[in-house]
Copies of this chain bind each other. A is one copy, B any other.
Amino acid sequence: MATVTHDIGAYTLTVGEVAAAAGVAPSAVRFYEEHGIVRAERTAGGQRRFDDGAACRIRVAKVAQRVGLTVREIAEVFADLPPDPQPQDWGEVAEHLIAEAEARTAALKAYLGDMRSGAKLCEL
């Protein structure tokens, strides 16, 4: 198998390549690795090499941050992903993230709803 630039499932991508693919700065990629959002192997010389899922995880993380999840929380959700995850594994992570986002939105609605229904939570 003489794949040159793209060996799926292998740790071949540099920090810069992942950064470009994810739309973030290389420094952010290092930050995310440090915090468990992505994994990297190292070359003999000490350089990071990422697999194809890395940019994806980072893109998902950026969107998840917008709904109020912290990097730590996102890393915990991702921790359930096996190495080389299948679509189904991603599906479960997706459910988890969406459920969390909806729970938080529901909390907001509940609070604002109580407020409007004249419950004296907010004596305006």
Contact = CB atoms under 8 A, between A and B. Distances in A.
Interface of A: 8, 52-53, 56, 59-60, 63-69, 84-87, 90-91, 94, 97-98, 101-102, 104-105, 107-109, 111-113, 115-116, 118, 121-124
B122 A67 contact: no
Contacts of A105: 67, 98, 101-102, 105
A90 B66 contact: no
B60 A115 contact: yes
A111 B59 CA distance: 9
Given A66-B104, A68-B69, 14 more contacts: A52-B124, A56-B115, A60-B111, A63-B111, A67-B68, A67-B101, A68-B68, A87-B118, A87-B124, A90-B116, A90-B122, A94-B116, A98-B108, A101-B105
Contact of A112 (B53, B98, B113): B98
Nearest to A95: B112
- Please report whether the interface of chain A is mostly helix, strand, loop or mixed according to DSSP: helix
15 contacts: A8-B123, A52-B124, A56-B123, A59-B122, A60-B115, A64-B108, A66-B107, A84-B124, A86-B124, A87-B116, A91-B116, A98-B112, A101-B104, A101-B105, A101-B108
